[in-house]
Amino acid sequence: MADHDHTEPPSDTALRVKALESLLLEKGLVEADTLDAIIQLYEHNVGPQNGAKVVARAWSDPDYKARLLADATPAIAELGYGGVQGEDMVVVENTSDVHNLLVCTLCSCYPWPVLGLPPVWYKAAPYRARAVSEPRAVLKEFGVEIREGVEVRVWDSTAELRYMVLPERPAGTEGLGEDELAALVTRDSMIGVALVEST
């Protein structure tokens, strides 16, 4: 057969997905437009910029921070964020005495509405195992030195409960507005593998 007579099929895996998708479409269990919209949403609109706004609000508004730490899901919804993997959120606060670190030891549970989809390393076996067994060593590899005397708390996310870290507000940011503060907050700082720097 000459090359132009046929189209080379994609990988077996891609064909499995195509098979499943076409069956689900045929059965009316999913709709093509909705699937496209979901992909668009996660690629463009859902990401750590959402969590950064939550953090900046908490740093700027003590009442909001109190609501966020008491019951995170409705407080996060106040800013318009919620949905899949954000149903039961808990926000844990870093202080001068406690540093919090997030992991999902079983798979990849992660607070999508505020952080987007997790980075590859979060889903990988080394992080899932070592965040629990040697969190200080893991933090050190991320460049975070935790002082002696500071307690490291590791939070294992589950299908029912997902965590987000409220990082410590850096010194020297007293005059900044919420947008400027949000710009300082990184994804990694809300997972707990980085600190927020005042640039």
Partner 1 sequence: MVEKAQLTATPSLPIGEDGPLFAEPWQAQAFAMTVRLSAEGHFTWPEWVKYLSVEIAADKDKVSDNNLETYYNQWLAALEKLVTDKGLASSGEMSGRKDEWRRAYLNTPHGKPIHLSAAESKPD
Distance CA 84, CA 117 (A): 11
Q: Which two tokens stand for residue 25?
A: 């479409």
Of 104, 133, 157, 198, the active-site residue reads: 104
* Between 18 and 198, CB nearer to partner 1: 18
Least Å from the CB of residue 109 to partner 1: 6
Q: Which secondary structure element, helix H or strand E, spans residue 153, and what is its range?
A: strand 151-156
State the minimum distance, in angstroms, from the CB of residue 184 to partner 1: 17
Cα distance between residue 157 and residue 102, in whole Å: 7
Give SS3 for 47: coil
Site of interaction with partner 1 (CB under 8 A): 3-24, 27, 29-31, 34-36, 38-39, 42-43, 84-85, 87, 106-109, 116-117, 119-121, 123-127, 129-130, 134, 136-138, 140-142, 158-160, 193
Q: How far apart are CA 159 and CA 182, in angstroms?
A: 28
Per the residue annotation, which of 11, 22, 108, 133 is the catalytic one?
A: 108
Q: For residue 107, indicate whether it is catalytic.
A: yes
**Is 157 one of the annotated active-site residues of the chain?**
no
- Location of structure tokens 């503060």: 181
Please say which residue, 10 or 172, places its beta carbon nearer to partner 1.
Answer: 10
Enzyme catalytic residues: 104, 107-109
